[in-house]
Amino acid sequence: MSNTATAKKKNGFLAGTANYVDERVGVAGVLKEFGRKIFPDHWSFMLGEVALYSFLVLLLSGTFLTFFFQPSMTDVIYNGVYAPLKGAHMSIAYASSLDISFEVRGGLLMRQVHHWSALLFVAAAGLHMLRVFFTGAFRKPRELNWVVGFVLFVLGMAAGFTGYSLPDDLLSGNGLRIIDGMIKGVPFIGTWISSLLFGGEFPGHSIVGRLYSLHIMLVPALILVFLAIHLVMLVLHKHTHYSAAGRKDSNIVGYPLMPVYVAKAGGFFFIVFGVIMLIASFFTINPIWNYGGYDPSPVSAGTQPDWYIGWLDGALRLAPSHLEFMAGNVTVSMNILLPLIISLVFLALVALYPFFENWVTGDKREHHVLDRPRNAPVRTAIGAAGVTFYAVLWAGASTDLIATNFKMSLNQVLLTMQVSLIILPIVAFVVTKRICLALQRKDQEIALHGRESGRIVRLPHGEYIEVHEAANEYDLFKLVDYKDYQPTLARPNAQGKITIRARMRAAASSFYFKDSVSPTTQTAIEANAHHAHEIEEQVQKAIENQK
């Protein structure tokens, strides 16, 4: 007891509270363990933080909405303040969404905060995923965390879709109609699943309530669980750092958690929240009152789903006509199945990529220093191809808008998109790989000959040269610090046989590494320095002569 008293007197409030808490829950040990943990700093590491914070904002704003939203599809006649819909039949869900917008102070603000943060959440998670991909942060020991992150991204889309469908307005109902049509297209079980999901025929009276359970309970709970796993693994693995002098696979360089990182990250939460709030105050999103309640008959042209669903919608649009066929008396709706299969395969490839790359490199060591994208040209090119594929599907969801805005025929736009879907990723692959190799060679140039200084000097014999300034040792190290992989040959196994697996690995390794540019070595730099020294002497002479 006397300890408590002296602690209070000596150091005032902060120490007093710390003492009070520690004597009851004994957290000093935790703080000792984690309080000065090192976190590397880089702008691209904030993408994941943005995703995390927008999720927190979703939890806060979503909880507010639950207090007013009524997930019921019972028909009512609207009698609220919004004049154009007075007297209209609509579901209670839609009516309560209108009431949140027009009759609860701050209600529209919270709806807009919720919707904008949903868009930001998925966007930030997606960009974060790209950062992890292009820097090779998914390599051992982080392959499983890549998969967890992937699941989070998919759950984010699921959260978004289930939420989008809740207000039961014309657009959200139409989105569900599309889902229903797709489900029905699945052979043998489609009609059953549709009936189970909608509680009978579409649209029925159950779907909003069911999506509500998913949206406010199951999906957020899953997201929380996976987030927890994601972050625990992050602490376990410690964060990666970018290649630079002093950064190794065996250490971690950055700022201590307390106070710098806590202040920056904590402050950043408020900034993300503030920016979402700012956008929500000024920009309308999903003005459901303009659309009216769901009715299967009318629909307006040019409507768009939320951005993260766009690629799936695009996949549906890009399917060529007349893909459906009969197998006996069974209708096989390939026009729906093909886009479905393509989307699922695409997702599967994303989820499994780390394991594939690891199989190719055969590298079993832990990697904590990030790659600069140029130093893994084929990986970067594969990423660019994937992004392009996704982008074409996404643009595919706007074929009608593109056609009307650019005065092209829909047919031309569609055909262009279909061709692009196959050609552009290949083009992106080739171009990106070339750019990476060119950048690597440029790095090599700089490592060997220094940077172009822009100073032109005329030598005594009339030749003009540009003076190069040698990179300082820190900059130089960044240019040469990467791992050099070389293709392998298909080698015989213990029985002296060359297996198909070995051949495939040899082919894959050649695909990845056959034109790789090895890092510049000390030997090469020294050999060059000698030559550079001679030139330098000539330059000095020339300068003296000019004086």
C-alpha dihedral over 529, 534, 539, 540, to 10 degrees?
100
CA neighbor of 305 nearest in space, from 191, 174, 414, 410 = 174
- What does the block give as tokens for 299? 């629909």
Whether residue 420 contacts residue 371, with contact meaning beta carbons closer than 8 Å, is answered with no
> Would you say 528 or 538 has its CB closer to other proteins?
528
Whether residue 48 contacts residue 239, with contact meaning beta carbons closer than 8 Å, is answered with no
* 246 is a contact residue toward other proteins (CB under 8 A): yes
Whether residue 230 contacts residue 149, with contact meaning beta carbons closer than 8 Å, is answered with yes
Whether residue 405 contacts residue 384, with contact meaning beta carbons closer than 8 Å, is answered with no
Residues β-bridged to residue 536: none
Q: How far is the CB of 524 from other proteins (least distance, A)?
A: 4
DSSP 319: S
* 207 is a contact residue toward ligand HEM (CB under 6 A): no
**What distance in Å separates the CA atoms of residue 476 and residue 444, rounded to the nearest whole number?**
10
> Would you say 33 or 544 has its CB closer to other proteins?
33
* 269 is a contact residue toward other proteins (CB under 8 A): yes
- Of 217-225, 279-287, 379-387, 531-539, which part binds other proteins (CB under 8 A)? 279-287
* 178 is a contact residue toward other proteins (CB under 8 A): yes
* 164 is a contact residue toward ligand HEM (CB under 6 A): yes
Q: How far is CA 311 from CA 100, 134, 307, 339, 392, in A?
A: 31, 21, 8, 10, 8
* 323 is a contact residue toward other proteins (CB under 8 A): yes
Encoded one letter per residue, x for contact with ligand HEM by CB under 6 A and - for no contact, window 26-55 reads -----------------------------x
Binding residue for other proteins, selected from 3, 405, 522, 546, defined by CB under 8 A: 522
* 209 is a contact residue toward other proteins (CB under 8 A): no
**Under DSSP, is residue 14 helix (H, G, I), strand (E, B) or coil?**
helix
Number of residues in contact with ligand HEM, rule: CB under 6 A?
Answer: 27
- Of 161-169, 185-193, 365-373, 445-453, which part binds ligand HEM (CB under 6 A)? 161-169
**What distance in Å separates the CA atoms of residue 279 and residue 117, rounded to the nearest whole number?**
10
**Under DSSP, is residue 470 helix (H, G, I), strand (E, B) or coil?**
coil
- Hey, which residues between 64 and 123 contact other proteins (CB under 8 A)? 75, 81-83, 89, 101-106, 108-109, 112
Handedness of CA 275, 305, 151, 112 (dihedral sign): positive
> How many CB atoms are located within 10 Å of the residue 259 CB?
12
* 175 is a contact residue toward ligand HEM (CB under 6 A): no
Binding residue for other proteins, selected from 234, 524, 539, 542, defined by CB under 8 A: 524
* 124 is a contact residue toward other proteins (CB under 8 A): no
* 445 is a contact residue toward other proteins (CB under 8 A): no
* 293 is a contact residue toward ligand HEM (CB under 6 A): no
Binding residue for ligand HEM, selected from 70, 72, 91, 97, defined by CB under 6 A: 97
- Of 346-354, 363-371, 429-437, 534-542, which part binds other proteins (CB under 8 A)? 363-371
Where do we find the tokens 């959440």?
121
Tell me the backbone φ, ψ of residue 61, rounded to 5 degrees.
Answer: -70, -35
Where do we find the tokens 């409507």?
303
- Binding-site partner at residue 63 among other proteins, ligand HEM, none, CB < 5 to 8 Å by type: ligand HEM
| Interacting residue ranges for ligand HEM, rule: CB under 6 A | 55, 58-59, 62-63, 65-66, 69, 97, 100, 111, 114-115, 118, 121, 156, 159-160, 163-164, 166-167, 215-216, 220, 223, 286
